[in-house]
Amino acid sequence: MIFQYYPDTDMLYLELANGVSTESEDVAPNIVLNFDDTHQVIGIKFDNASKFIDLSRLELSALPLADLLFSKALPNVRHEEPLRKIENRRTKIASEDHFFHFEFITVNAQGTLVNQERKQARYQTEDLGNGVILDMVYIPGGTFIMGSKEFSDEQPQHTVTIKPFYMSKYPITQVQWQTVMGNNPSHFNSFFKGARKRPVECVLWDDAVDFCQRLSDLTGNSYSLPSEAEWEYACRAGTTTAYHYGDIISSEVAKYGGESNNTGPKGDHRKGTSDVGIFSPNAFGLYDMHGNVWEWCADPWHDNYEGAPTDGSVWEEDGEPLHRLLRGGSWNSYLGDCRSAYRDKRSTISQDLNVGLRLVLEGTAWT
């Protein structure tokens, strides 16, 4: 059973295993819904009841549940349309743009908050099944300066023009991986412990590519790993500082290692990864771009940017195909390794407990 509320459109969607769907405008004041942070309804009760009904434990057919919610006994709930079959639920979800609001912050050289700005981002939602969703944030096209003067492999700095695309709002979580792949390779395996939002890790590059293909087959949309240029452009989100927060970060804004390889606040690597989305996002609305888990890119490793493409495409020519790019740093990385421009590589057969992934969907069309 899927029972979901989209606050941006104030619409309530109900879908059961048999594919029957219904919707209602105006959630009634005498019905109280209990949502998790992905907008999934996990409980329902009338406002005079003492406890929520756990929807995941109910075994009701479509009509009795619809009667419960939309019967004449509940005049404050308006049911405008009869029950109907939804051929493709993803088409219904994707038929309208959705927006979410967030606070974008910047910090000073001491890692102290100096500015906070309210922003909104456009996104689409992919239904993976079993109540698991994937939010894809729209990244507008633009031009930026890629690289830095920090290390030779981040040079030469060069101008890159990026076309619009979608990127996953968070690193892929363990529950999302489990839903698509049917397994969970993570060392910090929390799937059966109630923490559904830790990022998947111990991911081989080939398995990351396979995840993209399986998800594409499942949804009809063409998912892939980001190019290195797309990743840095999305991470910077219009900034030119070392991090999208500013020229320094602290453990208040990112999950990185316990020691620093340069001047700056010490991080906290205890307990491994953290749930995605607990730190403030960048200006595009992307979370965990610094730290938590390294993220695979599609590109093979190159020692520097000599001859790199300027259109944001994957750079395959003359690379090391057995070593692929990692970006973003992780829960046990040095502070400087989490910079927007920092590059690392890993063998495609390396399975490390600090390596995960994030997805992209090219273009602006959504099927």
Q: Summarize pLDDT for 281-328 with one digit per residue, the tens.
A: 999 999 999 999 999 999 999 999 999 999 999 999 999 999 999 999
**3-class DSSP state of 250:** coil
For range 68-81, the mean pLDDT: 36
CB 273 within 8 A of CB 188: yes
Please give the pLDDT value at position 189: 86
Residue 84 pLDDT level (bands cut at 50, 70, 90): very low
Q: Rounded to two decimals, what is the model's pTM?
A: 0.74
Please give the pLDDT value at position 113: 86
- Describe the strand order of the beta sheet including 98-107 as a list of residue ranges: 98-107, 113-129, 132-139, 165-168, 360-362, 223-224
Please give the pLDDT value at position 61: 33
How far lies 132's CA from each of 3, 94, 138, in Å? 11, 16, 20
Residue 43 pLDDT level (bands cut at 50, 70, 90): low
pLDDT exceeds cutoff 80 at 123: yes
- Domains annotated for the chain, with CATH where assigned, are 2-87 (no CATH), 98-362 (3.90.1580.10)
Please give the pLDDT value at position 67: 40
Give the residue from 308, 312, 339 showing the smallest Cα distance to 326: 339
